[in-house]
Chains A and B, each alone.
Chain A
Amino acid sequence: MIDIEQANRTTVERMMEARPVLVGVGRARDVIPGMHDNLLLHAGPPVTWERMAGPMKGAAVGCLILEGKAKGWDDAEALIRAGEIEFAPCHHHAAVGPMAGLISPTMMVYVVENQTHGNRAYSGVNEGRGKVLRMGAYSEDVLARLRWLNDVLAPVVHDALQLCGGIDLRSLIAQALQMGDDCHNRMVAASLLYLKALDPYIVKAAPNSDVASDILKALGDNPLAVLNPVMAACKTMADAGHNVAGSTIVTTMARNGTDFGLRVSGLGDRWFTAPAGIVKALYFPGFSEKDANPDIGDSTITETAGIGGFAMAAAPAIVTFVGGTARDAVNTTLEMYEITYTEHKYFTLPPLDFRGTPTGIDIRKVVEKGIPPRVNTGVAHREPGIGQVGAGIVTAPMKAFEDALVAFAERYGF
C-alpha cells in the first residue's frame, strides 16, 4: 500500500535539498535536451496555435523573425499553419519561461544545475519590463534588444560565470527573501545581489569597457534581471521532487494564457488543466482589465518551489497587490501554509520570526480546504505586439486540483 506521507516527505525533502547553481549561458539548440531547429518552446501546458493566446502568438512570431524563418506575422503564421513549426511546453524540456515563455533554437539560455541531484534546467535572458517579447511584443526594437542580449550580453555573462565559478541560487534566493523580495514579482534585491556577484567578472570578461558598461547597466536597470535564473533554479528543485510514487505534491504549475496546468509528483507527466484565470491587477497608465490576457507564464514555478506569492510576507513593499497592508502580506503567506506540506528549510521569513516558507503544494489540502494557491504575476496585453499592461495576483483554478485528486485516487486505488 502506498504511504502518501512517506512519499510526500521524500518529495519535499528532495525539493528543499536541491542546490541550484547558475553555471553558464548557452544556445538553446546546444544545451536544451530535445531542442531542434523547428521547435519553439512556450510557457504552460501544451497548446495549439489555434487556441494560443495573443501574447504567446506575438512572441512566437517574434521568435520566427529572430530565427530568420519569417519576416513578419503573415509568413510566420503561414509557416506555422503549414506544420513547419513544432510547439512544445518548456516544461517538457527541463525549461521554464516567464509570461509567453518562448524559447527558440538560437536563443541564449541560462543553465542552472542542481548540484545535489545533478539535474539541470534552462531559461532565457530577461529583457526587462514593458514592451518585450515575453509579453507578446515583436517589433523591430524588441527584436534588436533580444539580439543584443543573445549576442553581446549572454556570452559575456557566460564567461563571467565561468570566472566566478557559478552562483549559488538557493543562497541568493534565501538572502533576497531577507531583503524584501518575494522572488517572483519583486526581485529588486535578488537582481542586485546577482549584479553584485557578477560585476567584477563582467568587467574582466567583456571585450572592452563600453560593452562592460552596457551590460552592467542592462543588468542593473532591470529589477527582473535574475528572474529567469531563479525560475530555472525553482525548476530544478521541482524536478528533483517529481515522479515520487504516491506523492500528492504539485511539481508543476504553469499557464499558457489559455489554460492553467499542473502536474503532480506521483502522477508522472500528465497535465491537469483548466481555463487560465483573470489576474486581479493594478494596471499601467492607459490600461485596464479589458486589455488583460488571462494568466500566463511558467513563473508559477516559484510558488511551486515555496517562494513568490507563498513568500508574500517577505515583501511588504508590494502589499498593494494583496490588499494594502503589511498584515495582508503576512496573511497571504499564512493562508498558503494551509495547503502546503512543509516549511522550507532554507527559505525563511523575517516577519514570521524566520519561519520557513510554505513549501510543497499538496493537492489533498487544496481540495479539502478549497484554498487555491495564490500567485503573484505580471499581466500581458491580450493582443499580440503590445506588451505588459500591469501586475497583480491570481488564484489557480480549483478544477485542475480536483481532477488531479480524482486521477490520484484512480491511479492508487483510493
Chain B
Amino acid sequence: MTATLVDIRRGAYYDSAFLMRLQRTLADLPGVQDAGVVMGTPTNQELLAAADLLPPAARAARPDDLLIVVRAEDEAAARDALARVDDLLTRQQVARSAERRPQSLETAVAMRPDAAWVLVSVAGRYAAGVARDALGLGKHVFLFSDNVPLEEEIALKQTAASKGLLVMGPDCGTAIIRGIGLGFANKVRLGPIGVVAAAGTGLQQVTSRIHQLGAGVSYGIGTGGRDLSEQVGAITFRQGLDVLARDPETAVIVLVSKPPAPQVADAVLAAARQIPKPVVVAFVGHATATRQLDNLYFAAGLDDAARLAVELTSPPTPPSLAGKGAGGLGDLAGPGARGSGFASTQRYLRGLFSGGTLAYEAQAILRDYVPRVWANAPLAKADRIPNALISQEHTIIDLGEDEFTVGRLHPMLDNELRIRRLLQEAADPEVAVILLDVVLGYGAHPNPAAELAPAIAKAKAAAEAAGRRLEVIAVVTGTDEDPQNLAGQIAQLKSAGAWVDTSNEAAVRYAGRILRTLNPPSPIPNTLSPIDLTTLQKPLAAINVGLESFAENLLAQGAQVVQVDWRPPAGGNERLMGILARMKGKTT
C-alpha cells in the first residue's frame, strides 16, 4: 500500500541546489518511489502536485518552510526515509575531495614559480613537446623519456643552450643535484666531486663508488646517451662541464661516457683542459696516449675514475702546470713579453732528432698540444714536410733518416749537421723552442755534450742578442754506467742553458706546454649562454610530468614537487598538435 508522508520544518532555509541533492538521496532509498524536498512556495507546491507528491498535509507549508514529501511502497519505507533527513541535512562532508592537481605545465609553474626543474617521463612522442614548453617557461629539463627523435633532441638542446638552460636527456635515467637524486639515483652524500655523464648506470656506478670511498658529489649531471654523438655535439655535456667549472663547491670533475664520437670527445677534452680544476676522464673505449695531460686524468674505467677523483680531492691541489726540470712553466707566468721573455714573433718548435722512435713519439705527444707538426718522417703522410732542409711552423726533423745520412755519419756519431741546423733554426725569429735528443751508450759519439753544449749556448746567446728567448730542451737517453757518463752530459748541457730530462715524454710535454702558452688554443666558440648557478643552488623544487614515483622520490628527499595531471595534447590528435605547435612557434 503506497504511503506518502510529509515533514514540514518551519523557518529552515536551505539553498535549492542543496535540497535537490537531498531529494535525490531520499528518492534512491529502498522502497521510496519518489521524493520532494523544496521550500514550500506556491510554485514548488504546484510542482509537487504535478508529481503526485502533494498530499493535503503538505499544503500547510508556507514559503519559508522546508517541505519534505516521500512517497514509498509502504509506510515503513516512507518513515525510514524521513528519519534519515536530519542525518542527511547535518552530516559533515567527510569525504573531502583532494587538492586539485594542475593539468598543464603552465598552471604548475604558476603554482610553483620557484621550481627550477621540470621532470619529463611521458611517452616519447609527446616528451619533446613537454620539454619545449618547459624551456619556454624558463625551466631546466630532466628528460627521462626515451624514443625522442634525434632532431628533436638537437633542437631542444640548442634552444636550451641559447637560454642558459639544461636539457638532461632524452633517455637520461639519473641525475644528482646537490644531494637530491632525480630519476633513478643513489643516495650519495654531498661533496666536492662533480660528474657529467652521458651514461646513466655509469653515473650511478661512479657516484656510488665515490660515496663508498668516503667522498661526496656536488652534481651528477646526466646528458643522455647521444649527447657525445657528432650530431648533438655534446651540448649538454659542455654545459655541464661549464657549470662544474664555475661551481665554487666543485673541486674535482669527472667525465663519464659510453664510447663517444672521437671528434666530439676531443672537443670536450679541449674544453676540459681550459678549466683550472682536475678533470678525471672515463670515456669507455676512448684511447689516450697518456694517463695525465695537464689537468686531465685518464681513468682506466669507472672504478678507477671514482678512485682518482677521490684522491684528487685530498689534498685538493690542482696539478702544477710546471714541469720538474729547470725553467718550468712557472717562468712563463712571470713578467716580460708574454710574461716569459719570448718575443711576439716566437711561436714554433723545431725538433732535431737523431733517434727515429724518439722523433715519432715526440710527434705523437705534441698532438696533445698543437694542431699540426711537420716532419720528414711523419706519423701521417699529410704532415710530411715539403723540404726537409727548410723547417716550417712546428717541425720535427729526424736527422737519422736516409736523406741526411747519404755520404755522412749518422747524427748519433757526428753532431756537425745538427749543430749547423741548430744555429739555423735559432736564427729564425719564429722559433721559440728547439728540441734535441742526445743518445748515449756504446757506439754513440764519445762526448756529444762537449760539441752540443757550446752550440746551444751560442744559439741562445744569438737569440738573446736579437731580443728573443730561445728555449733549448734536451732529452738525454742513457745510464750512469754508459761510457759518456749521463750525469756529466746533463751537467754540460744544463750549464749551456738547456732544459734537460731523461724522459722523452717529460721533455716533449714541457715543450708542448710552452707551445700551448705561446699558441693558446682559440677559445672554444661558446654559443652556449651560461647557466645561472643560483638556479641550481637553491633548494630543489620541481614539476613532475609523468611517472608519479619520481615525484614521490623527490618528496621523500625533502624537495618540493608539483605533480602535473598530464594528458596528451589535443587528445593525441596529430593534426591539432601540429597546428598548436606551429602557433607556439610563431608567437614565442
Contact = CB atoms under 8 A, between A and B. Distances in A.
Interface of A: 1-5, 129-131, 185-186, 248, 282-287, 317-321, 323-325, 327-328, 330-331, 334-335, 337-338, 364-365, 367-371, 390-391, 398, 402, 405-406, 408-409, 414
Contacts of A390: 20
A369 B181 CA distance: 30
Nearest to B51: A286
Contact of A406 (B23, B567, B576, B586): B576
B47 A369 contact: no
Nearest to B94: A325
B562 interface: no
Contacts of B96: 325, 327
Given A338-B102, A414-B582, 15 more contacts: A185-B17, A186-B15, A285-B34, A286-B47, A317-B17, A318-B15, A319-B17, A320-B17, A320-B18, A325-B96, A335-B100, A368-B569, A369-B567, A406-B575, A414-B579
B580 A368 contact: yes
Nearest to B35: A285
A130 B47 contact: yes
B24 interface: yes
Given A285-B23, A320-B18, A334-B100, A367 B576 contact: yes
Given A285-B36, A286-B47, A286-B50, A371 B103 contact: yes
A284 B103 CA distance: 34
Contact of B567 (A1, A320, A370, A398): A370
Contact of A364 (B47, B103, B575, B583): B583
A349 to B, nearest CB: 14
Nearest to B588: A5
A1 B53 contact: no
Given A3-B587, A337-B107, A129 B17 contact: no
Given A318-B15, A325-B96, A338-B103, A414 B583 contact: yes
B53 A286 contact: yes
Contacts of B18: 317, 320
B20 A338 contact: no
Given A284-B20, A414-B583, A327 B567 contact: no
Interface in B36-84: 36-38, 43, 46-48, 50-53, 69
A2 B570 CA distance: 22
Residue among A5, A130, A398 with the most chain B CB within 10 A? Answer: A130
Contact of A330 (B100, B104, B571): B100
Interface in B231-258: none
A335 B99 CA distance: 12
Contacts of A371: 103
B34 A286 contact: yes
A85 B465 CA distance: 113
Given A285-B36, A286-B34, A409 B103 contact: no
Nearest to B38: A285
A99 B452 CA distance: 110
B93 interface: yes
A409 B583 contact: yes
Contacts of A3: 587
B103 A335 contact: yes
B17 A318 contact: yes
B567 A409 contact: no
Contacts of B583: 4, 248, 364, 409, 414
B97 interface: yes
Interface residues of B, number: 46
B97 A325 contact: yes
A364 B17 contact: no
Contact of B53 (A283, A285, A325, A335): A285
A83 to B, nearest CB: 37
8 contacts: A1-B586, A282-B17, A285-B53, A286-B48, A317-B18, A320-B21, A338-B107, A398-B571
Given A318-B17, A320-B21, A391-B17, A327 B587 contact: no
Contacts of A131: 46
A12 B215 CA distance: 56
B410 to A, nearest CB: 76
A324 B96 CA distance: 9
Contact of A327 (B51, B97, B576): B97
Contacts of B110: 337
A406 B93 contact: no
Contacts of A319: 17
Contacts of A287: 51
A336 B107 CA distance: 11
Interface string B510-545: 000000000000000000000000000000000000
Interface in B1-48: 15, 17-18, 20-21, 23-24, 34-38, 43, 46-48
Nearest to B50: A286
Contact of A321 (B17, B24, B575): B17
Nearest to A246: B587
A405 B576 contact: yes
A290 to B, nearest CB: 14
Nearest to B577: A368
B395 to A, nearest CB: 58
A338 B48 contact: no
A59 B18 CA distance: 29
Contacts of A365: 104
Contacts of A338: 102-104, 107
B53 to A, nearest CB: 5
A129 B20 contact: no
B15 A370 contact: no
Contacts of A406: 575-576, 579
Given A286-B53, A402-B576, A406-B576, A331 B97 contact: yes
A185 B586 CA distance: 40
Q: Which 5 A-B pairs have the closest CB atoms?
A: A286-B51, A285-B36, A282-B20, A331-B100, A320-B21
Contact of A409 (B24, B34, B582): B582
Contact of A323 (B48, B97, B587): B97
A408 B583 CA distance: 10
Most buried by B among A131, A331, A370: A370
A369 B569 contact: yes
Contacts of A284: 20, 47
Of A327, A335, A414, most buried by chain B (CB within 10 Å of CB) is A414
B576 A328 contact: no
A369 B100 contact: no
A294 to B, nearest CB: 20
Interface in B538-570: 567, 569-570
A360 B53 CA distance: 44
Interface in B277-311: none
A3 B104 CA distance: 23
B573 to A, nearest CB: 8
A328 B99 CA distance: 9
A3 B584 CA distance: 10
Contacts of A327: 96-100
Contacts of A330: 100
Contacts of A317: 15, 17-18
Nearest to B572: A370
A405 B17 contact: no
Contact of A367 (B93, B98, B100, B570): B570
Contacts of B35: 285
Contacts of B24: 282-283
Contacts of B95: 325
Contacts of B575: 406
Contacts of B34: 285-286
B43 A129 contact: yes
B582 A285 contact: no
Nearest to A343: B110
Contacts of A248: 583
B67 to A, nearest CB: 10
B34 to A, nearest CB: 7
A135 to B, nearest CB: 13
Interface string B437-455: 0000000000000000000
B587 A283 contact: no
